Amino acid sequence: AQSVTQLDSHVSVSEGTPVLLRCNYSSSYSPSLFWYVQHPNKGLQLLLKYTSAATLVKGINGFEAEFKKSETSFHLTKPSAHMSDAAEYFCVVSDRANFGNEKLTFGTGTRLTIIP
Amino acid sequence: DTAVSQTPKYLVTQMGNDKSIKCEQNLGHDTMYWYKQDSKKFLKIMFSYNNKELIINETVPNRFSPKSPDKAHLNLHINSLELGDSAVYFCASSPPSLHEQYFGPGTRLTVT
């Protein structure tokens, strides 16, 4: 069984300061991990993914995440927040045992608010 | 150029009605999915189809019936709508060799 826990339901940061959104996962297999972003009233967009290559993954819009197996974590970071980063962020784990028919399990989401 | 499209974007209907949501992807993917996002933003998979065959059915009430006429389309038909069906429904697709899924813009269903 797989699961993902997003440790903060809401994070507020000032514009220009670093962003840290925390995620811990549980998986019986070697996991694939993703971060998706959902802007208000929009669909989900893939920010970045980890699929057993480099543990530090770079995504779009300056975001990156580091896979730490020993800590079962996949935290999302950005050095400097921008107003356009305000959105809901989802950490997602994929069951790679069903390769080709991946079942994604979503975290409960973290709402990121940017303070001007 | 929309990769995954859904119609309609908004759907308001009364309890007991039957409605359908359509999904189409032009990415050439083999696998398509339906997700439900509740009022607390929690996303949960409902179904997945691979080449028109049902692969995942996550204990969804049988009032929900997906239909895949071809691998580019996965429609969701809902019978006897209930208040609890109000949610945003997302369609997604994925290729066989990659793990990420590409999502449509969502359909906001409101049952009154």
Instruction: Check CB contact under 8 Å for A100 and B31.
Output: yes
> Nearest residue of B to residue A91 by CA position?
B43
Residue A95 domain-assigned (yes or no)? no
Please give the CATH number for the structural domain made up of B15-97: 2.60.40.10
Best CA proximity match to B96, nearest among B31, B24, B26, B28: B31
Q: For chain B, what are the domain ranges?
A: 15-97
Residues contacting B65, CB < 8 A, separation 6+: B76, B77, B78, B79
Percentage, residues of chain A above pLDDT 70: 94
- DSSP letter string over A48-74? EEESSS-SEEE-GGG-EEEEETTTTEE
Task: Provide the domain limits for residue A28.
Answer: 1-45
Residue A39 domain-assigned (yes or no)? yes
Cβ pairs bridging A and B (under 8 Å): 54
**pLDDT value for B40:** 86
Q: How many CA atoms lie within 13 A of A51 on its CB side?
A: 12
- To the nearest whole Å, the CA of A73 is away from the closest chain B CA by 19
Residue A73 domain-assigned (yes or no)? no
Residue A20 domain-assigned (yes or no)? yes
Model confidence over B55-110: pLDDT tens digits?
A: 777 778 899 999 999 989 999 999 999 999 999 999 999 887 667 889 999 999 99
Interface membership of B94 toward A (CB under 8 Å): yes
- Residue by residue, pLDDT tens for chain A (116 residues) are 788 999 999 999 999 999 999 999 998 777 889 999 999 888 899 999 998 778 899 999 999 999 999 999 999 999 999 999 999 999 999 876 555 556 788 999 999 999 99
Interface membership of B48 toward A (CB under 8 Å): yes
Residue A68 domain-assigned (yes or no)? no
Show the DSSP H helices in A3-101 as ranges: none
Instruction: Check CB contact under 8 Å for B99 and A106.
Output: no
Model confidence over A82-95: pLDDT tens digits?
A: 999 999 999 999 87
Interface membership of B1 toward A (CB under 8 Å): no
Q: Is A103 exposed, middle or buried (0-12, 13-18, 19+ CB in 10 A)?
A: middle
In angstroms, how far is the first alpha carbon of chain B from the final one?
34
Instruction: Check CB contact under 8 Å for B55 and A96.
Output: no
Best CA proximity match to A83, nearest among A37, A115, A45: A115
In chain A, the number of structural domains is 1
Residue A31 domain-assigned (yes or no)? yes
Report how far residue A46's alpha carbon sits from residue A59's, in angstroms, rounded to the nearest whole number.
Answer: 9
**pLDDT value for A92:** 93
What CATH code is carried by the domain that includes residue A19?
A: 2.60.40.10
